[in-house]
Structure 1
Amino acid sequence: MMLLLLISIKLLLLLCIQRPSTSVRLKEGWQVYSSAQDADGRCICTVVAPEQNLCSRDAKSKQLRTLQEKIQNMSQSIEVLNLRTQRDFQYVMKMESQIKGLRSKLRQVETNWRTLPTKNFQELKGKMADLQPLVPVLNQYKADAGLISQFKEEVRNLSLVLTGIQEEIGAFDYEELQHRVTNLETRLRNCMNKLTCGKLMKISGPSTVKTSGTRFGAWMTDPQVSTASSKVWYMDSYTNNKIVREYKSMSDFIAGVESRTYNLPFHWAGTNHVVYNGSLYYNKYQSNIIVRYSFESGRVVTQRALEFAGFHNVYPYTWGGFSDIDLMADELGLWVVYATNQNAGNIVISQLDPETLQVLNSWNTEYSKRNAGESFMICGTLYITNSHLTGAKVYYSYSTKTSSYEYTDIPIHNQYFHMSMLDYNARERALYGWNNGHQVLFNVTLFHVIKTDDDS
């Protein structure tokens, strides 16, 4: 059974709002695993939870406070899911009504089919056939909406129990209570973890994090590390530079407090670099060589030529800047986007082995690299903008899963008129941009296809 949900996946950074210097102060041993915003970019909630085995049988009052805090955070998270589900439920009910109406109309037409032209009859019958499979999907959606309500009720009941026993420690089996809370927390995490991949529907923002550097550059975080790490890397300019600046946190980045600098052995070309699992991947200047540089060892661990790839402004994006080879990462791994003579200058997508940089698989598109403003990967689909200037929009997408493309029309607000870097971060589900010397962030809205446990 397939469950279709339209969920707004909001920016997961601790910035969370228009004031980028704001951050959440966490207790030692606690971690953020989800956050949400409303349509205006204001924080609704940040869900936090202590690490496993934080509680012990000592100091039961402290244990209960810990459980209460967990319940409160889960309750906030469930409330957000519930609000979104109720909003989308109205859309689902409308679709269901349309399906029923179409079915009734079709029955009437079948009774008086002689009065209807054959072409119109076949078109109506085709629409009905297309909509018919949605009926069980809608039924499953309503069932899952009920499941969220059940989660909400269970949290409320547990909260009442905790409040009732706070003054009478020992009146309730603490181990059983902790088991119930842990079980509910696990179920909630599993539910939220299903919201991993989806189709891009909307780009909102941007939020300006900082204004610094030249007109062109790149900045990024590592999508593979835990949420406990929030290091930021900064690479100014598109050429004639080898210095990578590291910041321990987003707040340090905003304040300009560097923690370390790295002097790369080779200059980079373009602004299309990516940090992935502790390594920097970039295009070596005046070559089609991809370099993997380890931050931990401070040296190049792998470099490999990308066969047939154009370089040094042979097939750049529309703004130029030696942006021929674009490295990126998403939920499915490490990718590189480029163009070749063999594909008539059109974009080629290749998935790379992060360790060896070997090409695992490639897809040839029919979109000219020189006509693309920027591009980024989400869940194995490449999204391409039609310009780097004002009025840009995501115009084309190519799915590596189905080896097919489609034309889209998703506006992206180019606030500072010249986009020289746009890259997706799967951990934070946000787009990082370098917009004419401004470091900006965009929220994304994804349309999710979620499989239930009964799916084969």
Structure 2
Amino acid sequence: MKLNVVILCVLFTLSQQAASPEKCVCELNHSQRVFPHDKLQAAESNVTYCNSRITPQKTKELESLLLGLERRLEQLHKDMSILEAEDDGQLYGVLSLYIIENEMVEIKQLVDKLNSTTLGHKHLTADTLLQLDDLNKEMDDLQTFDSMGVVKARVRIKHLTANIDICRATVNSTVAPTQPSYGTCPYGHLLNVTGPRVYTAGEYPGSYPFGAWGRDPKPDAGKRNWYWMVILTSSNIYAHYVRFYSSLSALIIGVSTPGNVLIHSSNPTTNTIQGPNVVLYGEALYYNCYNKDAVCRFNLTSKAVTTLQLPKGTRYNSKANFCWLEDCYSYTDLDLATDESGVWVIYTTTQDFGNLVLSKVEMGQEMMLGQTWHTSVYKKSATNTFMACGILYATRFVSKSIEEIFYSFDTATGKESFNLGIFINKMSSNIQSLNYSPVDQMLHAYSDSKLVSYKVLFG
């Protein structure tokens, strides 16, 4: 009886195993270590965090504080001189003392903020260096795990994904426009304007309040360091020559070795200069022709003048000036500007109801009006315009010591911005003309007969 039971149990076991012949269990012994994806993600997060903390804004913040401190110290020195002049031997001017006391408090606040900012940047640098050391160690450690090429595979996948996106964009894109794009800038967007870097009364201190100065972005050989200046010598409206200086030092001390290049012996007359908005590009002077709604080009070599007629309805002869609340700058209907790509003209027409119009001046034996953009900013709400990397910038009067770059128009995208909030510290109440120099990324301002330049910061 017992024997029968054993045989039945064995048969039952065999039948159970034979019922699932397709099932198989394998044991895998892997000699490689498991790749630590969590460590790689942590390293990528740390890199992103470092990039977010170390930004150009940190440098901009320090430079702004230093500039503010410099200006306050200069003002304190002036006020101290006034206070000394008020000394009658026993008493000082009480009002001046209050002013100086307030200035000292503001200077102390600036110094405290500068110290705290510098200390914060020092700690940030130290922390970042430690994090970089840790990241280097972690990456070295991660490389030992990458025997199966996980990181390389991720890089390849990212490249493939980017290529797929490019292909999709190419397939879905429309035909490229025949007109060139002027908005490409190797420096990035305009972030700030610092300075002044140059501040001089020039060759004619206190005389000729209207004019312009700057550098040729495309000079002839041997003239890379030259500067030019145009002063309105007749009624603060007209000029008939351009004056050259062989270096910045010569400009500051007022020694013009090359001297004047005359457009005409009479002033004013046909095709001489009207208004302060003048630029030099490629050994040619561009300006508003006398008594015309047109751009004149004076070739410095041949002494020939060619003209470019602007569209019908263009305002001229001081009918569409740059303005601020209390005053306007006479005969600023047309503004000429240069940047990395060439020459531009900014104006307004009756069809645009006083809004700024921007056109590219296409150069050749005969000038032509190239692509044109219509903006939403009212001409008389601005005090100046300039171009940088295909972007139009407009300024407005804030106070006698501050001018604001408040507006931009990107010719590549058509995007407008009305709240840039970039401030220029003025050395005089008015800026009659403003030219950007792509040679050294400087803004050259002609300000109540003074020559002032500012450094443009991109990023």
State the TM-score, normalized to the length of structure 2.
0.54
1:2-401 equivalent positions in 2, closer than 5 A: 196-211=186-201, 212=204, 213-225=207-219, 229-237=224-232, 238-258=236-256, 259-265=258-264, 266-300=271-305, 302-308=306-312, 309-318=314-323, 319-355=328-364, 356-387=366-397, 390=400, 391-401=402-412
* Alpha-carbon distance between aligned partners in 2 of 1:252 and 1:388, rounded to the nearest angstrom: 33
Q: Deviations over 1:303-332 (max 9, x none)?
A: 121113211111111132200111111112
1:437 maps onto 2:449 in alignment: yes
* Alpha-carbon distance between aligned partners in 2 of 1:404 and 1:233, rounded to the nearest angstrom: 33
Report the residue type matching 1:323 in the other structure: T
1:415 maps onto 2:419 in alignment: no
Q: CA deviation at 1:40?
A: 6.5
* Alpha-carbon distance between aligned partners in 1 of 2:55 and 2:230, rounded to the nearest angstrom: 36
Q: CA deviation at 1:386?
A: 1.7
More helix per residue: 1 or 2? 2
* Greater relative contact order, per chain length (Cα 8 Å cut-off, separation 6+): 1
- Corresponding residue for 2:5? none
Q: CA deviation at 1:376?
A: 0.7
What is the aligned-residue identity percentage?
26
1:402 maps onto 2:413 in alignment: yes
- Corresponding residue for 2:134? none
- Output the aligned Cα RMSD: 3.2
* Alpha-carbon distance between aligned partners in 2 of 1:409 and 1:207, rounded to the nearest angstrom: 21
What SS does the corresponding residue of 1:412 show, helix, strand or coil? strand
* Alpha-carbon distance between aligned partners in 2 of 1:292 and 1:221, rounded to the nearest angstrom: 16
* Alpha-carbon distance between aligned partners in 2 of 1:274 and 1:248, rounded to the nearest angstrom: 17
Greater Cα offset, 422-431 or 260-269: 260-269
Structure 1 contact 317–372 (Cα < 8 Å) conserved: yes
Q: CA deviation at 1:240?
A: 2.9
* Alpha-carbon distance between aligned partners in 2 of 1:410 and 1:233, rounded to the nearest angstrom: 27
* Alpha-carbon distance between aligned partners in 2 of 1:294 and 1:231, rounded to the nearest angstrom: 17
* Alpha-carbon distance between aligned partners in 1 of 2:398 and 2:430, rounded to the nearest angstrom: 6
State the TM-score, normalized to the length of structure 1.
0.55
What SS does the corresponding residue of 1:254 show, helix, strand or coil? helix
Q: CA deviation at 1:207?
A: 3.1
* Alpha-carbon distance between aligned partners in 2 of 1:292 and 1:388, rounded to the nearest angstrom: 34
* Alpha-carbon distance between aligned partners in 2 of 1:6 and 1:387, rounded to the nearest angstrom: 30
Q: CA deviation at 1:197?
A: 3.4
* Alpha-carbon distance between aligned partners in 2 of 1:441 and 1:198, rounded to the nearest angstrom: 21
Report the residue type matching 1:273 in the other structure: V
Structure 1 contact 352–359 (Cα < 8 Å) conserved: yes
Structure 1 contact 389–418 (Cα < 8 Å) conserved: no
Q: CA deviation at 1:379?
A: 0.7
Structure 1 contact 347–368 (Cα < 8 Å) conserved: yes
* Alpha-carbon distance between aligned partners in 1 of 2:67 and 2:380, rounded to the nearest angstrom: 35
Larger radius of gyration: 2
Structure 1 contact 371–387 (Cα < 8 Å) conserved: no
Structure 2 contact 210–237 (Cα < 8 Å) conserved: no
Which blocks of at least 5 consecutive residues in structure 2 are unaligned? 1-50, 60-64, 69-120, 132-157, 159-183, 265-270
More strand per residue: 1 or 2? 1
* Alpha-carbon distance between aligned partners in 2 of 1:227 and 1:7, rounded to the nearest angstrom: 35
Structure 2 contact 293–309 (Cα < 8 Å) conserved: yes
Q: CA deviation at 1:200?
A: 1.1
Distance 1:200 1:401, change over 3 A: same
Structure 1 contact 7–446 (Cα < 8 Å) conserved: no
What SS does the corresponding residue of 1:441 show, helix, strand or coil? strand
What SS does the corresponding residue of 2:249 show, helix, strand or coil? helix
* Alpha-carbon distance between aligned partners in 1 of 2:399 and 2:275, rounded to the nearest angstrom: 17
* Alpha-carbon distance between aligned partners in 1 of 2:186 and 2:222, rounded to the nearest angstrom: 16
Structure 1 contact 197–331 (Cα < 8 Å) conserved: no
